[in-house]
């Protein structure tokens, strides 16, 4: 039973901005996908740590979409918020925006969902505070997180498909 103080998504909001340098790019001069994954992992891990107040480890990369190329010299802003907390794990949503240096125009280009687990000094999972969503988007992401968790655990071989009640409800 949890006795930790619940938190809101804004409590874990983590924002960072980076510039795409030559070492970050592929031969086309666009940001390498693997570099973006690493930036997301760091930003989202800080977010998960802020929510849980604990060291966290990356348990799963649930979903990442690469919708458009990010070019050399672009400013990239990552905004991570916890979308749902379970027992020891938290799901973190990261929205990625690219900013044109000349015009200052900022547009959303990617979205990523990672799962982190809070651990104690010996690396064992430990309870995290509940999450209370506030905005309409936070509530939508909160509700869908349970289905994503079940799908993720099935794919990881940690849950039987017949136990995934939320997922089954989508189809039956």
Ligand X SMILES: CC(C)(COP(=O)(O)OP(=O)(O)OC[C@H]1O[C@@H](n2cnc3c(N)ncnc32)[C@H](O)[C@@H]1OP(=O)(O)O)[C@@H](O)C(=O)NCCC(=O)NCCS
User: CB of 48: closest distance to ligand X in angstroms?
Assistant: 12
Burial of 151 (0-12, 13-18, 19+ CB in 10 A): middle
Q: How far is the CB of 83 from ligand X (least distance, A)?
A: 13
Q: Show contacts with ligand X in window 104-163 (CB under 6 A).
A: 115, 117, 119, 123, 125, 152-153, 156, 158
Total residues contacting ligand X by CB under 6 A comes to 17
Write down the least CB distance from residue 30 to ligand X, Å: 25
Residues 29-88 that bind ligand X (CB under 6 A): 57-60, 86-88
Structure tokens at 104: 């200052």
Rounded Cα gap, residues 6 and 90, in angstroms: 13
Cβ contacts of residue 6 below 8 Å, gap of 6+?
Answer: 129, 130, 131, 132
Separation CA 136–CA 142 (nearest Å): 10
Binding site for ligand X (CB under 6 A): 57-60, 86-89, 115, 117, 119, 123, 125, 152-153, 156, 158
């Amino acid at each position: 039973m949890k006795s930790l103080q619940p938190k809101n998504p804004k409590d874990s909001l983590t924002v960072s901005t980076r510039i795409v340098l030559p070492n970050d790019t592929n031969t086309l001069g666009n940001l390498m996908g693997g570099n973006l994954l690493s930036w997301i992992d760091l930003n989202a891990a800080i977010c998960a740590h802020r929510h849980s107040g604990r060291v966290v480890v990356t348990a799963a990369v649930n979903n990442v979409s690469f919708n458009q190329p990010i070019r050399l010299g672009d400013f990239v802003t990552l905004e991570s918020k916890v979308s749902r907390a379970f027992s020891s794990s938290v799901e973190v949503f990261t929205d990625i925006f690219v900013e044109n240096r000349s015009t200052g125009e900022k547009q959303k280009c990617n979205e990523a969902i990672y799962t982190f687990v809070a651990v104690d000094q010996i690396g064992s999972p430990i309870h995290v505070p509940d999450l209370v969503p506030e905005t309409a988007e936070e509530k939508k992401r909160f509700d869908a997180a349970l289905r994503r968790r079940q799908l993720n655990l099935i794919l990881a071989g940690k849950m039987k498909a017949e136990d995934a009640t939320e997922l089954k409800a989508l189809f039956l």
